Structure 1
Amino acid sequence: MKKILSLILVISISLFFLAFSIEINSYNKNYYLRSYEKHGVYDVTKRSEEDLSVITNDIISYLKGHGGDELLTPHFNEREVLHMRDVQDLFNLARTIKYISFLVSLAIIFLFLYRKEYISLGRTLFYGPFFLYFLLILLAILASKDFTKYFTYFHLVFFDNDLWILDPRTDLMIQMLPEAFFMGMALRILLSFLVFLSIIQIIGKIYERRGLKSYENLSGEIKGNIFKKQ
């Protein structure tokens, strides 16, 4: 039972921080603005910084679920808006996963603490992320060799239509958010996720040492009582 709980904890914590990493980076307006400057978006779109700033605010608000199509229709055509509906559905799903995984993680951690199983909790938090590191490094290597290929795979897996295929000659969305934008976004999400996992490992090591110290103290007390009886 303890092993099952440990596995569920690793999965739920990973899902929480992955969803959280996606959110904090996708909602970071400064990254969008820096990307526009870096990739010449102002020249491509023939839009001013003020115009793109307003549009970006509406995109982020839409992703957060703070509004519907009315946020996008002043800026984008029908195909782009329909695609963004699918994107919003993914963000809503990620938000749901974030909340559920947080509650599951919290419940299991409290259970470990209630039982004073500090060593088990600590080792779960410390050793659990190592397998994820392997997967993330492998994914990063593959994506770095051919990002377009795996970016296409992502769309084929998560979207059941071809609305994501936009025309850079006419569609503002793909002009604002070219592939290079998503490459940088993916890297930021990956780095954020790794930082959070590292913090979890540090916390895990602290709990493991606390558990070992408690075990040593308890062992010392037991030995002391035995010697007293003798």
Structure 2
Amino acid sequence: MAVHRSPLWIVILLIILIPLILYLFNLNIYTFDEGFHQKEFSKYSVQEKLSGENIRELNQNVLDFFKGKKELPDFFNAREKEHLLDVKNLVNLAAKLLIGLVVLFIILLFFLSFFLRASFKTMKYLSIIFIVGSGLTIFLTLFFWQNLKSNFLGFFTSFHDALFDPGTWAFNPDFEKMVVLYPQEFFQDIGVKIATNTLWMAGALLVAGIVLWVLFRKRK
């Protein structure tokens, strides 16, 4: 699978973009998957812990806030609202980044086709990109999954320390109910779902890459 020097940098960039796009896509999917959220609320008896509250409506309000449609209800205190605003900014940044990376991926594919003069070799390079990109995604996802399962608390803490200011993301469940509505296990399960779906998509991409490679070899 030797790669000609001229489009090498394009091939490398396309390979790197694959795991980034898959992760961001699945992050966006499960951030706004109300059906999955409701299953999690039932799994961890959130409604029983927040008796008198409509958790479906609360969750919908949070998602609408992320979309810029509503303000947060007074169920959340000032610190919680500040943190959710930080989360909203990250969610919106991730969505914009996903769109930007998809556009960049398409542009790079056009550049690759230009370098190869839209020749039959495009199939060869596309197969390499799919195979290596999906392989990289699978490797990274298994590494992520292992950390998620073996030391979620450490992963969760490091993740928040990297993205949020110290002291802005830790809450007391006795009087700050956001962590009752969204317990730590909720995020662990979302991480598992993101990893699982990413693995399935990477596997499909790997199969597509192998098929393209076989077709290229047959027509060579």
Q: What's the TM-score once normalised by structure 2's chain length?
A: 0.88
Question: 2:57 matched to which residue of 1?
Answer: 54
Question: 1:140 matched to which residue of 2?
Answer: 145
Question: 2:41 matched to which residue of 1?
Answer: 36
Q: Deviations over 1:153-176 (max 9, x none)?
A: 000011123221111111121101
Alignment of 1:118-129 (within 5 A): 118-129=123-134
Question: 1:222 matched to which residue of 2?
Answer: none
Between Structure 1 and Structure 2, the one with more helix by share is 1
Q: How many Å separate the matches in 2 of 1:75 and 1:11?
A: 42
**Amino acid across the alignment from 1:53:** R
Bigger Cα displacement from structure 2, 133-142 vs 84-93: 133-142
Alignment RMSD: 1.7
Q: How many Å separate the matches in 1 of 2:189 and 2:180?
A: 16
Task: Give the unaligned 5+ runs of structure 2.
Answer: 1-5
Q: Is the 8 A contact 2:46 2:180 kept in 1?
A: yes
Q: How many Å separate the matches in 2 of 1:120 and 1:169?
A: 57
Question: 1:205 matched to which residue of 2?
Answer: 210
Q: What's the TM-score once normalised by structure 1's chain length?
A: 0.84
Question: 2:93 matched to which residue of 1?
Answer: 93
**Amino acid across the alignment from 2:90:** L
Question: 1:186 matched to which residue of 2?
Answer: 191
Task: Give the unaligned 5+ runs of structure 1.
Answer: 216-230
**Amino acid across the alignment from 1:151:** F
State the 1:39 CA deviation.
0.7
Q: How many Å separate the matches in 2 of 1:92 and 1:185?
A: 18
Question: 2:68 matched to which residue of 1?
Answer: 66
State the 1:213 CA deviation.
2.9
Bigger Cα displacement from structure 2, 121-130 vs 170-179: 121-130
Q: How many Å separate the matches in 1 of 2:203 and 2:46?
A: 35
Alignment of 1:95-114 (within 5 A): 95-113=95-113, 114=118
| 1:78–1:115 distance in 2 versus 1, CA, 3 Å | farther
* 1:76 has 2:76 as partner: yes
SS in 2 for 1:46: coil
Q: Is the 8 A contact 1:112 1:118 kept in 2?
A: no
Q: How many Å separate the matches in 1 of 2:119 and 2:163?
A: 41
Which structure's CA Rg is the greater one?
1
Q: How many Å separate the matches in 1 of 2:55 and 2:88?
A: 20
Identity rate of aligned residues, in percent?
A: 20
